Structure formats: structure tokens, C-alpha cells
């Protein structure tokens, strides 16, 4: 098995899929990339059992098709230190010896049997949908931060993909905050849903661009994303996602409209003085004035600021965790936001006034912190 490939081309391919690799693995074979040569096509795979990522690199010259597992860290480390130049790989498939020749010299390492590398998950009876990269990029950006980290509730640790014939919903919640991102410019042939874990979401975020076209194949246990010569196959989170619609309050007569950046900066300053356990800030709205305050009784710290706003409804005082509000405001890009409220003990709804895309809807929910 022999081939010649550009060092920068190979490095780029390995960087695309290298995020799958874990720092430590129970199976030594998972510390390797799988190289499979067929003609001038070099298919490279990385896996952690739960997720398998493949990319295809075109080599300058290929002889003797074959496959071998190559030590990932060693290969990545040597490639980082090459300027762009052709590298010649000569692999003995009998003892898995690998010799790399460059303009500077030769380097020898030992690979492993490609037969030990985990087989990719098969997708039987799969449904398929093709959507634009713009939808996936925005959905991950808006939802990922709201996923949970509770091992006892694994279904909340991923993003809920909900496909129907008239829209696509992406939902994330950790029981304290919730984000629902909806797109009407992408539809499925039939209704379906699945929960995708954090790791593949981050891998998609690193590799997808808004211009890509994404083919998604999925069944009850597995999903495969295909785009730009890259293929990511992931095991889904098993379980039923909570009925998120039930926690979104419908009647919210108190509606606050405020400049997002002013609100964000004010919260950043005031929250410094909040209690370090609850991170509570108080919002008090009366007329066209929004008062934002925080205090830490243990250290006699307190802060208070006022903002001009538009408000419709009864005067209200409500407490929120400032960390959640700051996260939400940071993940919106609009000029003004709407905060809908009903009572001090019920969730607030954060909505953008203006949207980047007429086909999208963003709803962010934050649970209140009871004011003592």
C-alpha cells in the first residue's frame, strides 16, 4: 500500500475528523485513524464507538490498494511541523510498518491491523431529509448552550430534533432554561424526532458552513450527517424527550421591550454584586422604567441600574438567574428583545423583536428565582 499526498491536504482532512478521538480510550485501536486506499481516494476514519467520522482525501498518486490503522497523535504531531510538501507513504500490510518520506528525511512508525477498527453503525430502515447548512448552524448555535449536564436525565443532555411536514423544531432544555428554534424553510416527508448528544453537535458546529447542503439519514438508534466529503455517524440518546410545550406559558399579559445590548451590559455589571450561589437579579418594571438590581447579603454588596423600556401590563417584580439571562441574550443577534411575563413565580419568555430570517422563530424560556 503506497501513496503520495500533500501534507497540508492530509492535515486538513485529519483536523476535520480528529475531534472524534478521546484523550483516553479503553480500546487501543481507537487511538488510531483508519486509512483505506482505493485508487486515488484515501478514506480516513476516526471513531470513539459512539461516533464515527469519515472524510475523503484525493492523493496525488496511489499504488496497491489497502487499509491500515495509523497512530493518530504521532501522525498529527509530525504533520503540524511540515510546510506544504508531498509526503510519500509506504505501508507494509504484513507487519503494519509505515514509512513516511518527506523533503527532509524519513520517519518510521508502526500501525495496527485495520480489521480491529470498529465497523461503522449500519443504518437500516432509515428516513432521509436534506436541509441547508444554515439551518443546522443556527439551530446548534441557538440551542446547544441550553442543554443539561445531569447524568440522571440523559435525554436533556442533547438537542431534540423534531421534523414534520411543515416545519423543523430544535429544542434544548436543562429544566431551568429552554430554547425552541423553529424553521419553516425546511420540511420532512413525514414526522419524526430524535435526540442528538452534545459531542456530535460540537463536531457538526466545527465542520458545517451555512453554504453546505446536509443529507441526514436516521432511524430509531442512529443518525448520519453527510456533507462536503464528510460523514458523521452517531448513536442517538435513547429515551422520550419531555413534553416541552407543556411548560411554555401561553398567557403572558406583561410585555417588556428593551434594547438587547443595553440590557445585556446592565446585567453584566449588576450581576457582579449578586449572590454567588443563586446569581439572582431582580427586574422591577413600572411604566417605562426597568430597574435591575442585585444584592449579596453575606458581604453587604448591592447594585442597581435603571433602563428606559417600552412596557405593557401591570407593575411587576421578578427574580431570575443572571447567568441564564446573560447566556440567552448573548446567543441572540437582534437589536431589541421582548420579555413576556405573567407572574413572579412563572417562567419568562424571551423573544427577538427582529429576525435574521423570516423563516425562523426563536423562543427562549427562563424559570424565575423566587424573591425572598
In order along its 372 residues, the chain shows pLDDT tens digits of: 999 999 999 999 999 999 999 999 889 999 999 999 999 999 999 999 999 999 999 999 999 999 999 999 999 999 999 999 999 999 998 899 999 999 999 999 999 999 999 987 778 888 999 999 999 999 999 999 999 998 889 999 999 999 999 999 999 999 999 999 999 998 888 899 999 999 999 999 999 998 999 999 999 999 999 999 999 999 999 999 999 999 999 999 999 999 999 999 999 999 999 999 999 999 999 999 999 999 998 889 999 999 999 999 999 999 999 999 999 999 999 999 999 999 999 999 999 998 878 899 999 999 999 886
As a residue count, the chain comes to 372
The neighbouring-strand residues paired with 350 are 339, 364
106 CB neighbour count, 10 Å cutoff? 10
Q: Do residues 145 and 92 share a domain?
A: no
Cell numbers for 288, please give them: 417605562
Q: Is residue 60 part of a domain?
A: yes
Residues 170 and 141: beta-carbon distance below 8 Å: no
Q: How many CA atoms lie within 13 A of 166 on its CB side?
A: 0
Range of the domain at 156: 127-245
Cell numbers for 9, please give them: 491536504
Cell numbers for 225, please give them: 450527517
Q: Is residue 372 part of a domain?
A: no
SS3 readout for the chain: CEEEEEHHHHHHHHHHHHHHCCCCCCCHHHHEEEEEEECCEEEEEEECCCEEEEEEEECCEEECCEEEEEEHHHHHHHHHCCCCCEEEEEEECCCCEEEEECCCCEEEEECECHHHCCCCCCCCCCEEEEEEHHHHHHHHHHHHHHCCCCCCCHHHHCEEEEECCCCEEEEEECCCEEEEEEECCCCCCCCEEEEECHHHHHHHHHHCCCCCEEEEEECCCEEEEEECCEEEEEECCCCCCCCHHHHCCCCCCEEEEEEHHHHHHHHHHHHCCCCCCCCEEEEEEECCEEEEEEEECCCCEEEEEEEECEEECCCEEEEEEHHHHHHHHHCCCCCEEEEEECCCCCCEEEEECCCCCCCEEEEEEECECCCC
- Measure the CA–CA gap between 166 and 259, rounded to whole angstroms: 32
Q: Do residues 106 and 192 share a domain?
A: no
The neighbouring-strand residues paired with 230 are 55, 227
The neighbouring-strand residues paired with 68 are 35
Spatial CA neighbour of 198 closest among 131, 146, 120: 146
Q: Do residues 362 and 254 share a domain?
A: yes
Q: Do residues 84 and 176 share a domain?
A: no
Q: Do residues 165 and 224 share a domain?
A: yes
Q: Do residues 259 and 342 share a domain?
A: yes
Q: Is residue 217 part of a domain?
A: yes
Q: Do residues 9 and 85 share a domain?
A: yes
Q: Do residues 264 and 321 share a domain?
A: yes
- Measure the CA–CA gap between 81 and 107, rounded to whole angstroms: 13
Say how many Å lie between the first and final Cα of the chain, rounded: 72
Spatial CA neighbour of 342 closest among 212, 249, 245: 249
Report phi then psi at 203, rounded to 5: -65, -40
Angle, CA of 39, 40 and 41, to the nearest 5° = 95
Of 70, 91, 116, the domain-final residue: 116
What CATH number is attached to the domain comprising 200? Answer: 3.10.150.10
Residues 301 and 280: beta-carbon distance below 8 Å: no
Q: What's the domain count of the chain?
A: 3
Q: Is residue 79 part of a domain?
A: yes
Of 67, 97, 116, the domain-final residue: 116
Residues 362 and 340: beta-carbon distance below 8 Å: no
Residues 196 and 202: beta-carbon distance below 8 Å: no
CA 81 to chain centre: 30
Q: Do residues 15 and 84 share a domain?
A: yes
pLDDT in tens, 184-242: 998 888 899 999 999 999 999 999 998 999 999 999 999 999 999 999 999 999 999 99
Q: Do residues 199 and 137 share a domain?
A: yes
Amino acid at each position: 500500500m503506497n501513496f503520495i499526498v500533500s501534507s497540508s491536504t492530509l492535515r486538513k482532512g485529519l483536523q476535520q475528523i480528529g475531534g472524534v478521538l478521546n484523550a483516553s480510550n479503553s480500546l487501543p485501536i481507537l487511538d488510531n485513524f483508519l486509512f483505506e486506499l482505493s485508487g486515488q481516494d484515501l478514506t480516513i476514519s476516526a471513531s470513539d464507538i459512539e461516533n464515527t467520522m469519515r472524510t475523503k482525501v484525493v492523493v496525488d498518486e496511489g499504488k496497491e490498494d489497502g487499509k491500515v490503522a495509523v497512530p493518530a497523535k504521532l501522525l498529527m504531531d509530525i504533520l503540524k511541523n511540515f510546510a506544504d510538501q508531498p509526503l510519500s507513504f509506504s505501508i507494509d500490510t504484513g507487519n503494519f510498518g509505515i514509512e513516511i518520506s518527506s523533503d527532509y528525511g524519513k520517519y518510521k512508525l508502526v500501525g495496527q491491523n485495520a480489521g480491529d477498527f470498529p465497523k461503522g453503525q449500519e443504518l437500516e430502515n432509515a428516513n432521509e431529509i436534506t436541509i441547508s447548512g444554515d439551518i443546522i448552524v443556527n439551530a446548534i448555535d441557538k440551542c446547544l448552550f441550553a442543554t443539561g449536564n445531569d447524568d440522571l436525565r440523559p435525554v436533556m443532555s442533547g438537542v431534540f430534533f423534531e421534523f414534520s411536514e411543515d416545519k423543523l423544531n430544535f429544542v434544548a432544555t436543562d429544566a431551568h432554561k429552554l430554547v425552541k428554534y423553529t424553521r419553516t424553510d425546511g420540511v420532512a416527508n413525514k414526522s419524526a424526532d430524535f435526540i442528538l448528544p452534545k459531542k456530535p453537535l460540537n463536531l457538526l458546529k466545527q465542520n458545517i458552513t451555512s453554504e453546505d447542503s446536509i443529507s441526514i439519514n436516521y432511524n430509531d438508534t442512529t443518525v448520519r450527517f453527510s456533507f462536503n466529503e464528510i460523514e458523521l455517524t452517531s448513536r442517538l440518546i435513547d429515551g422520550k424527550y419531555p413534553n416541552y410545550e407543556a411548560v411554555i406559558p401561553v398567557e403572558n399579559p406583561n410585555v417588556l421591550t428593551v434594547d438587547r445590548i443595553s440590557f445585556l451590559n446592565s446585567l453584566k455589571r449588576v450581576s457582579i454584586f449578586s449572590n454567588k450561589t443563586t446569581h439572582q437579579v431582580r427586574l422591577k418594571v413600572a411604566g417605562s422604567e426597568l430597574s435591575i438590581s442585585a444584592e449579596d447579603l453575606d458581604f453587604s454588596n448591592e447594585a442597581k441600574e435603571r433602563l428606559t423600556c417600552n412596557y405593557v401590563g401591570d407593575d411587576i417584580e421578578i427574580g431570575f438567574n443572571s447567568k441564564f439571562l446573560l447566556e440567552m441574550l448573548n446567543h441572540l443577534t437582534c437589536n431589541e428583545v421582548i420579555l413576556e411575563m405573567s407572574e413572579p413565580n412563572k417562567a419568562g419568555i424571551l423573544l427577538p423583536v427582529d429576525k435574521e430570517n423570516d423563516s425562523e422563530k426563536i423562543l427562549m424560556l427562563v424559570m424565575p428565582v423566587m424573591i425572598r
